[in-house]
Chain A
């Protein structure tokens, strides 16, 4: 039990969070399907959650965020669910009105 977490540090978790965040940002930038953009947002929120949980983990550091990290991660999960519901409603409305889901075609508000 003494060598439980001898080698894994907070930095390793932060690196995984960084990979999830960057892939999410690139999804948001490159996808043309509105639902693909939504999936990029989910990946970004999940990368942030990995960071919160890692900084609150009692196994990785002596002084941590404690359960505040877990609680903020829970709030992020709930907000992600709410955001997905609204974004999906907007995407469906857009699809019903324009018969397409391509975000590049959404240029009604272009000046």
Chain B
């Protein structure tokens, strides 16, 4: 039991989920089979949901599993099934494109990782002490912020008086409405775009325009 107690379980699980997410993302890139790509993407996004749980954003992790892995990827798999002719299942990229993409990708990755470790507040861990698991963000605060009430900022003494104080306590009601209507419009538009073409029968007795 003392051995188990000495292991940093947070770092262990972070490494596990980070490795799963990165390895399966690389597998999506490296395989040429579209069906396997969809499967590896599912695993990568699921592992990312684990990272969200570890970061204390439980609600986002649950939504990632429900909307992304359960909804968006099912949509993608349907697309794969509807277009999976034998010649399109395996499509190899040209080797010249591979070299260029590898060069640009490794440069971009080096730049991003150098940036991630280049900012001092990001690479210094939070001072240990008064930190408990219960400090994680609850779904109540997230849901209240979506309806326009910032529960987490009610007792914020640093908020200035005046109009900016109201602003700092305002929630995300307007973006929430915008994104809801946007989703509705987009789904109606997608259904219209993907409808089957019906040949209109030409009527012999039709009026001339």
Contact = CB atoms under 8 A, between A and B. Distances in A.
Contacts, number: 280
B113 A43 contact: no
Contacts of B64: 49, 77
Interface in A63-101: 63, 66-67, 69-71, 73-75, 77-86, 88-93, 95-96, 100-101
A71 B10 CA distance: 24
Contacts of A46: 44-45, 48, 68
Chain B interface, >50% SS class: helix
B34 A90 contact: no
Chain A interface, >50% SS class: helix
A102 B25 CA distance: 22
Interface of B: 8, 10-11, 14, 18, 21-22, 25-26, 28-29, 34, 37-38, 41, 44-45, 48, 51-52, 55-57, 59-60, 63-64, 67-68, 71-73, 75-76, 78-80, 82-83, 85, 88, 91-93, 97-98, 100-102, 104-105, 108-109, 112-113, 115-117, 119, 121-129, 131-133, 135-137, 141-142, 145-146, 152-153, 172, 175, 179, 182-183, 186-187, 189-191, 193-194, 196-197
Contacts of B102: 26
Interface residues of A, number: 80
Contact of B93 (A3, A31, A40, A79): A31
Nearest to A77: B67
A1 to B, nearest CB: 6
A4 interface: yes
A53 B112 contact: no
A37 to B, nearest CB: 11
Interface of A: 1-16, 18-27, 29-33, 35-36, 38-40, 42-43, 46, 49-50, 53-54, 56-63, 66-67, 69-71, 73-75, 77-86, 88-93, 95-96, 100-102
A73 B88 CA distance: 33
11 contacts: A4-B128, A8-B10, A14-B113, A21-B112, A23-B28, A38-B79, A43-B44, A59-B126, A71-B145, A81-B75, A82-B186
A16 B25 CA distance: 10
A102 B91 contact: yes
A80 B60 CA distance: 14
